[in-house]
Amino acid sequence: MSDTLFSRIVRREIPADIVYEDEEILAFRDIHPQAPVHVLFIPKRAIPTLDEAAPEDALLLGKLMLAAAAYARREGLAERGYRIVINCRGDGGQSVYHLHLHLLAGRRLSWPPG
C-alpha cells in the first residue's frame, strides 16, 4: 500500500472519524467540512488521481459511489439530495493524492462551484 496521508488513516496511524468501512473502502469525516455533512470515501488501495485509474479499477470506483449513495440513504440525506465530487490534480483542487470521493450534504449547494 503506498504511503499517502489517507493510507495512514487506513492503517490507523492518524485518527479520523470513521463512518463506514468494508474490505476495500474507508469513509471518514473531512477535517475541513464544507457542508454540514462532508465525508470522504477512499479506496484502501491508493490510486493517486482519477486520471491514473485503470480499467481494472472500474469495479472499485463503482463501489465507492455506491457506498456513498448507501451512506446518504442510511443517514436520511438522499431525499433532500447531496453532491459527490472527485477533484483531480491542481486545477481540480486536489490536495491529497489518494483518490477520494467527497460526499457533501445538509445544505443547498450552489452551482457552478468556485
Q: Is 12 a residue that touches ligand DGP (CB under 6 A)?
A: no
Considering only residues 89 to 108 of the shown chain, the ones binding ligand DGP according to CB under 6 A are 93-96
Considering only residues 41 to 100 of the shown chain, the ones binding ligand DGP according to CB under 6 A are 87, 93-96
Selected range binding ligand DGP among 27-35, 43-51, 58-66, 69-77, rule: CB under 6 A = 27-35
State the DSSP string of 59-72. Answer: HHHHHHHHHHHHHH
Closest CB to ligand DGP among residues 95, 110: 95
- Residues pairing with 102 in the sheet: 40, 85
- Determine which residue in the list 5, 59, 66, 70 makes contact with ligand DGP, applying CB under 6 A: 5
d(CA 30, CA 104): 10
Q: Decide if 38 is catalytic.
A: no
Q: Is 19 a residue that touches ligand DGP (CB under 6 A)?
A: no
27 close to 63: Cβ distance less than 8 angstroms: no
101 close to 84: Cβ distance less than 8 angstroms: yes
- Residues pairing with 37 in the sheet: 105
Under the rule (CB under 6 A), what is the footprint of ligand DGP? 5, 14, 16, 28-32, 40, 87, 93-96
